Chain A
Amino acid sequence: MNRSLFSAALLATVLGITAVGCTGGGETGKEKTGDPAPTAPAGGTTAVRPEPTGEGVKAEGDTIKIGIVGSLSGDQKPWGEDSIEGGKMAVEEFNAAGGVDGKKVELLVGDSASKAEQAKSAAEKLISEGVIGIVGEVASGHTIQIAKSAFQKAIPVVAIGATKTTLADEGTNVTRVCYTDDFQGPVMAKFAFDELGLRKVGVMTDNQQPYSQGLSKSFSDTFKKLGGEIVGEAFYESGQTQFNGQITELSAKKPDGLFLSGYFTEVGPIAQQVRQAGMKDVKLLGGDGWDSPQLLVSGGDAIIGSYFCNHYNNREDRPEVKQFLEVWKKAHGGKEPGTTMAALGYDATKLMLDGLKRAASLDSKALIAAINETENFPGVSGKITLKGANGNPKKRALVVEVRSEKDGFQVFQKAYEADEVK
């Protein structure tokens, strides 16, 4: 991330006007596919997804190789570690239950190091090692790179936490186990408008993350449709540490809430600086990018009492959640997973393994078909159906409130079903 910051800074001198011109307005070319489909149901687009034309990869040897990509270093390490641990857990269970056709699954791990270009090379390394499917990634910007590499070889990709709306349009090989930004954005807009009674909201977007850009847009669209007003928009880049300029501009617009669509790494300092700038009563809201206990460390008292959208909650009563937590705790010294990416990593891997069982043959093309036929898969994060879903399952979203570590960090407040928000 930081290397790209540096090169971006250098590039900007040369390409300054063009580079910034296309991101400055919060509208990138990539957003277009999501835009002209107002009738599309919440949860993905209706675009026709291209079929990968490659021959596919056959599973050879005594084991079936599956890859998983996550950040084992850098800012997103909490997510990477959790999702990979979840993936390993799913594979262990699968192998313990006998594998498929007498073959065991071997899980190969790739490190994306919190950088999109590293995610791409990690995926390519896994492909060269003969994997027939890739699980990952958590970040949308990373997953797009993985998806592009996998598309050429007709290898399936099951994304863990990548919520960018247009992601699955990359090809039929791309699916995910999480909801999309055109669902969680509207969920937070509805929550802000109906439940918190907010009417004037400012938005802060991380211009380096496609995830953040998409989420800000879907939040703003719905919030305006509900009758609210977006009083101001400010932009920053991942890695920035001081936000006084942007906060001063937003503060002058007197918002009653701020929507921070970026990742927890910047949201923490933003929250502190917002409070220091005198916006004491302004409610802070965000998406699943907030999901890490690290948020409490960098956000301090300033972030307590804010709300964000998440995939599931450890306190849920469903048997899948209880069973998952029991096994997880046994393997991790009695500790619950810190982020929901553990459960999503587990779900994504398990879903791919489930596809393996149903696949007509043990090759990547049959696996793509099997994964796209998934129906009512009992995931920890809820039931997942990919059949006829264009790669985007209908999931529910939970709005949680941020509390101190001692009070359990995330306290469940309200659930929204997939059809509840349009």
Chain B
Amino acid sequence: MAGLELSTLPQQLVNGILLGSIYALIALGYTMVYGVLKLINFAHGEVFMIGAYAALFASWGLGYTPNNAMSGSNPINLLIMLLASMTLCGLLGVLIERFAYRPMRNQPRIASLITAIGVSLLLQYGGQLFLPSSPAPNIDAKVNPYQDNITIPLRPVDGTLVTAAKQLEAKQLETKAAFDAYLTRTKESPFQLSVAGQPLKKAAQDAERDLRTAEGKAEASGLSIRLPKGQMIMLVTTVVLMALLNFLVMHTKPGRAMRAASHDFDAASLMGINVNSTITFTFLIGSALAGAGAMMNATFLSGTKIDTFFGMLPGVKAFVAAVLGGIGNIPGAVLGGILMGLAETLVVWAGYDSYRDAIAFIVLIIVLLFKPGGLLGSNKVEKV
């Protein structure tokens, strides 16, 4: 495998954090539900999938249909999609809790777990009946007005190399113009040239290649990181949502109820806390966060295809992230998500592309071997 390329490391760290922010949003839902109910909500990945569909339908409703998309967009469209996705996911989460988990609440915990898997499969395969999934649709890139990058230079480029590249530009333009003029004049295809056109084409290609090589060299002399605006918005939104969540849980009344229910379910209900509405609220918030993650994933990573299995792998990875950070622990979920994103990207950086998905589980096994409670979790051994 390829040797380690240090020059791409800063960029890959950025890629990893950006990817990790999506995992973090999903992981929050797992961790909140686990914290309160001690239930691993395996249907959470499917809520994420429905969120992506909600964003897709919202984008269609706004006029960005395939092959016929409006050009130009504005942030309001993105906000509408985000709200559509969060609302629908929140509702779905509440419904799942009300009809699938609540009847099982007083049964052994394994019953709830199996119900969760059932709901997950129901949404994956049942969804195929009424959701467009083959061929898999995607949100049109035009809905995203933030296509460009912010470039942050870490080391300036070599000025002489830039000038050298600039000098080649004139020749490239000149030869290209000559070849284009020839094509217009003779109406020949560039790929079925007569003998007269061949040297012109060769000259144009050689000049272009020289220019690109020089440009590449100039670029490689410096070091910069590229922050895609869309994905930066994703990161910022994630951070804001997490801060809001933290405030909600730590400093508000429903949050206190949530913590109380998490601490001791029965005692909390004896103390006059409406446990049912607290749980509903937990599902509402957790699922809405997954919806936000889904909308941003499907929109800002252009061309991402959406099918009914869309939530499966992200769901599994986010679950691992939640366990990694210490399941039930909110900052832990965020840390776990970011670590997962970084691990995945750094594996690619090291040249082991195919280990990308495996790394999630390798990391999980290692952490659980040494710290069974997760990185930020307690090491309290639970009696089963």
- Residues of A that sit less than 8 Å from B by CB: 2-3, 5-6, 8-10, 12-13, 16, 19-20, 23-24, 73-75, 77-78, 114, 195-197, 199, 207, 232, 234-237, 239, 241-242, 244-246, 248-249, 252, 254, 256, 265, 268-273, 276-278, 281, 292, 294, 296-302, 399, 405, 413-414
B287 at interface by CB-CB < 8 Å: no
B191–A413 touching, CB < 8 Å: yes
Chain A residues with Cβ below 8 Å from B347 are: 245
A114 to B316, CA, bound (A): 22
Shortest Cβ distance from B222 into chain A, in angstroms? 12
A148 to B365, CA, bound (A): 38
B344–A245 touching, CB < 8 Å: yes
B98 at interface by CB-CB < 8 Å: no
Task: Name which of B128, B349, B353 has the most chain A CB atoms within 10 A of its CB.
Answer: B353
Shortest Cβ distance from A277 into chain B, in angstroms? 7
Chain A's closest residue to B356 (CB) is: A245
A20–B358 touching, CB < 8 Å: yes
B301–A242 touching, CB < 8 Å: yes
A24 to B353, CA, bound (A): 7
Given A252-B8, A298-B305, are A13 and B135 also a contact pair (CB < 8 Å)? no
Shortest Cβ distance from A17 into chain B, in angstroms? 9
B312–A6 touching, CB < 8 Å: yes
B50 at interface by CB-CB < 8 Å: no
Chain B: how many interface residues by the 8 Å CB criterion? Answer: 69
B312–A276 touching, CB < 8 Å: no
A13 to B16, CA, bound (A): 21
A36 to B135, CA, bound (A): 39
- Stretch of B136-144, B273-281, B374-382 lying at the A interface: B136-144
B19–A244 touching, CB < 8 Å: yes
Chain B's closest residue to A8 (CB) is: B357
B111 at interface by CB-CB < 8 Å: no
A272–B141 touching, CB < 8 Å: yes
Chain A's closest residue to B351 (CB) is: A249
B309 at interface by CB-CB < 8 Å: yes
Chain A's closest residue to B229 (CB) is: A276
A74 to B303, CA, bound (A): 17
A12–B357 touching, CB < 8 Å: yes
Chain A's closest residue to B215 (CB) is: A254
Chain B residues with Cβ below 8 Å from A281 are: 212
Chain B residues with Cβ below 8 Å from A244 are: 15, 18-19, 345
Chain B residues with Cβ below 8 Å from A256 are: 209, 212
A276–B149 touching, CB < 8 Å: yes
Given A74-B134, A273-B303, A298-B303, are A248 and B66 also a contact pair (CB < 8 Å)? no
B15–A245 touching, CB < 8 Å: yes
B191–A114 touching, CB < 8 Å: no
B262 at interface by CB-CB < 8 Å: no
A249 to B349, CA, bound (A): 7
Shortest Cβ distance from A303 into chain B, in angstroms? 9
A26 to B141, CA, bound (A): 32
B355 at interface by CB-CB < 8 Å: yes
Number of residue pairs A-B, CB distance < 8 angstroms? 179
B1 at interface by CB-CB < 8 Å: yes
Task: Name which of B208, B344, B354 has the most chain A CB atoms within 10 A of its CB.
Answer: B354
22 A–B contacts, CB within 8 A, in A order: A2-B312, A9-B360, A24-B1, A75-B135, A77-B134, A114-B134, A196-B205, A199-B209, A236-B353, A241-B301, A242-B297, A252-B220, A269-B138, A269-B305, A272-B141, A276-B302, A278-B149, A278-B226, A300-B142, A300-B302, A301-B141, A414-B191
Q: A197-B209, A245-B15, A245-B347 are in contact. List 14 more A-B contacts (CB 8 A).
A: A2-B307, A2-B312, A5-B312, A23-B354, A75-B136, A235-B354, A241-B301, A245-B356, A246-B353, A249-B12, A252-B5, A271-B303, A296-B67, A399-B191
B237 at interface by CB-CB < 8 Å: no
A75–B134 touching, CB < 8 Å: yes
A245–B349 touching, CB < 8 Å: yes
A73–B361 touching, CB < 8 Å: no
A271 to B302, CA, bound (A): 9
Shortest Cβ distance from B70 into chain A, in angstroms? 13
Chain A's closest residue to B220 (CB) is: A254
A65 to B345, CA, bound (A): 51
A245 to B353, CA, bound (A): 9
Shortest Cβ distance from A232 into chain B, in angstroms? 8
Chain A residues with Cβ below 8 Å from B302 are: 269, 272-273, 276, 300, 302
B252 at interface by CB-CB < 8 Å: no
A5 to B192, CA, bound (A): 44
A73–B128 touching, CB < 8 Å: yes
B115 at interface by CB-CB < 8 Å: no
B77 at interface by CB-CB < 8 Å: no
Given A249-B5, A249-B348, A296-B67, are A273 and B357 also a contact pair (CB < 8 Å)? no
Chain B's closest residue to A13 (CB) is: B361
Given A197-B208, A265-B305, A298-B305, are A207 and B354 also a contact pair (CB < 8 Å)? yes
Chain A residues with Cβ below 8 Å from B67 are: 296-297, 405
A28 to B42, CA, bound (A): 35
B135–A78 touching, CB < 8 Å: yes
A294–B135 touching, CB < 8 Å: yes
A234 to B302, CA, bound (A): 20
Shortest Cβ distance from A238 into chain B, in angstroms? 11
B304 at interface by CB-CB < 8 Å: yes
Chain A residues with Cβ below 8 Å from B140 are: 297, 300
Task: Name which of A12, A244, A299, A413 has the most chain B CB atoms within 10 A of its CB.
Answer: A244
